[in-house]
Structure 1
């Protein structure tokens, strides 16, 4: 009898769930399209701003050098800060050999991962911008040579 009850319960629930899915699908599709269009528009705006900034930096190489130097200093400062924040607890966690030590090491690991993500985001943004500015400079150099 128990197996029979599960069958009827499954059958009774599958019909309303199927109807609910069919009703919600068009709504979810519209929401996804709207979100996708908005993201595409934001990406185009961001891309245009990046191109303007790369063009400006290509026109002013001294500004590009200054911006890259600031990015290097930012990355160095973030790494130094992460080292200072995690060095003390690391030594304490090394001395403590129980659950608290494991928890401290876990927090230190999370801080290091977050710092690495921040550093990579800073480096990626400025390296991409520098590459675009360099490409603009190369194109201009080819145009002037021709």
Structure 2
């Protein structure tokens, strides 16, 4: 038993130096890639905000386009909810709801289909949240603007 402990010590000591060297060589590359990605994400976020501002201005000027946008956004959200519910329910209709991995081909195939539906559900949920966020931003901006334009909400002069 003591030999295993000694072997682990010498193996760790032997591997520590190469691992340290590789880590030091890779760190600048990883940092550069991370910084590049951060700049790209910030540029994408800024572009998306400009696009949303342009949409808000367009919809403030054209109420028909705004209602059309609302209709399409809500339809897209409802479709994504339906797909999400389907991807959650369908795996339970396939063979074995507990995903027991049997040795037969049908069990493995059912497991693969269930995993595919799970991946689809996660992607659909992310897209659903993104659609809801975008729609909420536009609707909130339009609603705030409508309240500012509404003569009923203007303050009455104090007498």
Change (3 A) 1:21 1:119: closer
TM-score, length of structure 2 as denominator length: 0.64
Does 2:34 match 1:32?
A: yes
* DSSP-derived class of the 1:102 partner: coil
Q: CA deviation at 1:78?
A: 4.2
Structure 2, gaps ≥5 residues long: 100-109, 155-159
Instruction: Note if contact 2:83-2:124 (Cα within 8 Å) is conserved in structure 1.
Output: no
* Greater alpha carbon shift after TM alignment, 54-63 vs 15-24: 54-63
CA RMSD of aligned residues (A): 3.6
TM-score (norm 1): 0.69
Counterpart residue number, 2:70: 68
- Name the counterpart of 2:98: 102
Higher RCO by CA contacts (8 Å cutoff, separation 6 or greater): 1
**SS of the counterpart of 1:19?**
helix
Query: In the aligned structure 1, how far is the partner of 2:16 from the partner of 2:86?
Result: 57
Mark the CA change 1:50 to 1:19 in structure 2 (over 3 Å): closer, same or farther.
Answer: same
Q: 1:85 to 1:32 in 2, by over 3 A?
A: closer
Structure 1 residue 57: Cα displacement:
0.9
Task: List gaps (5 residues or longer) in structure 1.
Answer: none
Q: Tell me the CA shift for residue 77 of structure 1.
A: 3.9
CA–CA distance in structure 1, aligned partners of residues 148 and 25 of structure 2: 54
Q: How many residue pairs align between the two structures?
A: 138
